Structure 1
Amino acid sequence: MASPDLELQGAIVARLKADATVAALIGTRVYDQPPTPVTYPYVTIGEAQFLRDDATCVSGGRTFLTLHTWSQAVGFPEVRRVADAVVESLHLAAITLPTNHLISIMHRQTRVFRDPDGLTSHAVIDLVANTEKPTA
């Protein structure tokens, strides 16, 4: 059985690549590690943290996930549109995982800022997902 955060990463990548609104903005440019050179705008999978929270009859926990959106268009509108499309695709989505059960996935916050290069706009999207492992 795979870890919930690894299964979530695969499911999120697949969902974003299949989402018509996201695809209209970035095509299928959803990466774990972007290629060099990269075409803007795009999304990267960021950090994940799994916190186990077992109960007497349930094995599960909470995964905190970070996604990043990137743009080099002037200003913040493009990176915000991409971030909003990502959030709309994932917030409260019914996502099926291969071996774990996703109870919920929720958007917590989005931060938008200019990177130190002065050219790249960057949005950081924080999500939290609750999962449990099926009982035998």
Structure 2
Amino acid sequence: MSGRDLSGPLRRAVIAALQADPGVAALIGSRVYDYVSAAPAYPFLRCTTMIASPWEATGGVRGSLVRLQVDAFTKGYGRAAAEPLAAAVVAALDEADLALPEGFLVSLQWRQTRMLDDPAEQGVTHGVIEFESVAAL
């Protein structure tokens, strides 16, 4: 099977969509990152893990199956702050029709959300929101 790694264009489109979404912005402003400084302002989102594998459809359409993770970090209010932020991410991205800077999005589906206490910093809740997508050329 041949494919094309489109995880980079997808990551850029996801970050742009989250930064532009009114529901997300109401909770965190524009604090959506792919890299986080040593002392970030809370709450914020980070687009992190991308696992890409080849994808091909009938007719020679090729691209990638991408598993994408968005991390939500809140401080001071536990899950009471983290859960609405995770829900806003799901609302913004699940089955969204994002424009990719290269290729096109075939599908983007929410798979699961997990809430964790962050062991690295007291009082921080870490929401892990996972999506699965297909992007093609």
1: CA distance, partners of 2:111 / 2:15: 19
Unaligned runs of 5+ in 2: none
Counterpart among 14, 17, 31 of residue 16 in structure 2:
14
Aligned residues: 132
Cα shift at 1:55: 4.0
Indicate whether 1:104 and 2:107 are aligned.
Answer: yes
Counterpart among 72, 75, 79 of residue 76 in structure 1:
79
Query: Identical aligned pairs, as a percentage?
Result: 33
Q: Which residue of 1 aligns with 2:50?
A: 48
**Contact kept? 2:5, 2:54, Cα under 8 Å:** no
2: CA distance, partners of 1:31 / 1:99: 20
Look up the equivalent residue of 1:32 and give its one-letter code: D
Using the size of structure 2 for normalisation, the TM-score is 0.90
Q: Which residue of 2 aligns with 1:91?
A: 94
2: CA distance, partners of 1:25 / 1:90: 16
RMSD value over aligned CA atoms?
1.4
Look up the equivalent residue of 2:107 and give its one-letter code: S
C-alpha offsets along residues 53-73 of structure 1, whole Å, 9 cap, x if unaligned? 224522122100011000112
Look up the equivalent residue of 1:109 and give its one-letter code: Q
Q: Which residue of 2 aligns with 1:124?
A: 128
Using the size of structure 1 for normalisation, the TM-score is 0.91
Counterpart among 116, 130, 137 of residue 113 in structure 1:
116
Unaligned runs of 5+ in 1: none
Look up the equivalent residue of 1:97 and give its one-letter code: L
